[in-house]
Amino acid sequence: MSVTSPRTPAEIWTRARNIALSPTKEWGVISEEQATRRSIWVPYVLVLTALGPLAVVIGYAVAGFRTVEGPVWLLPISILVGWALTLLQLYLLAFVIEEAAQKFGGRPDRVQALKVAAYSSTLGYIGHAVGVIPYVGVIFMLVCSVASLYSLFVGNYRLMKIPQAQRVIATVCILGAAFFLTVLVFYVPMVLIGVIINILT
């Protein structure tokens, strides 16, 4: 059993695979890991959140898939801004998870909350990377998103020690906050950027 957060490509792949195939068991492993906020962010979060932007670049270079309208030079700017907003969204989600644990009788812990936010989002990040592929990618992304919801539920009560009677309502509140954060922190800025690009071009 690992005593630290995944660091090598093989360890990151193993974590992602286990979260997908045996989430309950893997969350037991995660709960015992000696981690810091830095060890979770680097390299795990940075690598996983970079998959989507990397897939956009590869999709454009190889197959001509365009996810950003406008001149080609705007593509890297849009990708970097989107990546930064994703990291901000994850940071705020960890804060929400910690606050929810305190409100619903769990154990507020910033590191454990970041574990829940980061590792439960793993399949979602992978899904978004594959999602740049038309049709099949969208279906895969939806499946990964549903799996991420279950992973969040399991991780939340295993790591944040939410009492059984409060687990469902705590998870629902976190999901509601996560949806709000996605709209406010990610989609609204990206739409505004798109409007500005259209005006300037």
97 versus 186: which is more confidently predicted?
Answer: 97
Lowest mean pLDDT, pick from 6-10, 79-83, 87-91, 107-111? 79-83
Taking residues 182-195, report their average pLDDT. Answer: 84
Q: Assign residue 67 a region: left if phi > 0, alpha if psi is -120 to 50, beta otherwise?
A: alpha
Q: Are 163 and 106 in contact (CB under 8 A)?
A: yes
Nearest to 44 by CA among 6, 84, 13: 6
1 pLDDT tier (thresholds 50, 70, 90): very low
Taking residues 108-122, report their average pLDDT. Answer: 96
pLDDT at 48: 94
- Cα–Cα distance, 29 to 1 (Å, whole number): 7
Q: Are 75 and 68 in contact (CB under 8 A)?
A: yes
The string of DSSP letters for 91-142 reads HHHHHHHHHHHHHTTS---HHHHHHHHHHHTHHHHHHHHHTTSTTHHHHHHH
Q: Residue 35 is inside which H or E element, if any?
A: none
- Cα–Cα distance, 35 to 129 (Å, whole number): 26
Q: Are 162 and 101 in contact (CB under 8 A)?
A: yes
